[in-house]
Structure 1
Amino acid sequence: MQSLQVNVTSSSNLVMNFSKPLLLVKVLVVQVLVGIFLYVNCLMIFSFLKKDMFREDTRYILFAQTLFVDSTLMILSNMLMVASSYQYCINVFCCLIICTVVSVLNSCTPLTLVAMCLERYVAICMPLRHADISTSRTRLFGFLVIWGISSMPALFTFIAYLTVVQSGTLSYYTICSVEVALGEEWQAQTRVIILQILFLLITIIIVFTYFKIMTAARAASLENKKSANKCLRTVLLHAFQLFLCIMRFLTPYIEMAFWKADAAVLYNLKYCNFIIFLIAPRCLSPLIYGVRDEKFFLVLKHYAMCGLSFSQLWSPTCLSMMCVIG
Structure 2
Amino acid sequence: MSESQPSAAEPPGFPQPARPLRADGRPRRVGFELEFAGLSPEGAAAAIQEAFGGEVQSDSRFVKRVAGTAWGTFKVEVDARVLKERSYRALLSQMGFNLDDRTLDSLDEQVLRLASTVVPVEVVSPPLPVGEAGQIESLREALRRRLAQGTRAGLVYAFGLHLNPELPELEVDTIRATLQTYLLLLPWLKWRDDTDAVRRLTPFIQDFPAEYVRRLLQPGYCPGLGAFIDEFLAFNTTRNRSLDLMPLLAHVDPGRVRRALPDDPLTQARPTWHYRLPNCLVDDPDWRIARPWRDWLMVERLADDPQRLGQLMADWWARGFSLTEHRWIQHVDQCLARLDR
- Give the TM-score taking structure 1 as reference length: 0.26
Say which structure is richer in strand: 2
Say which structure is richer in helix: 1
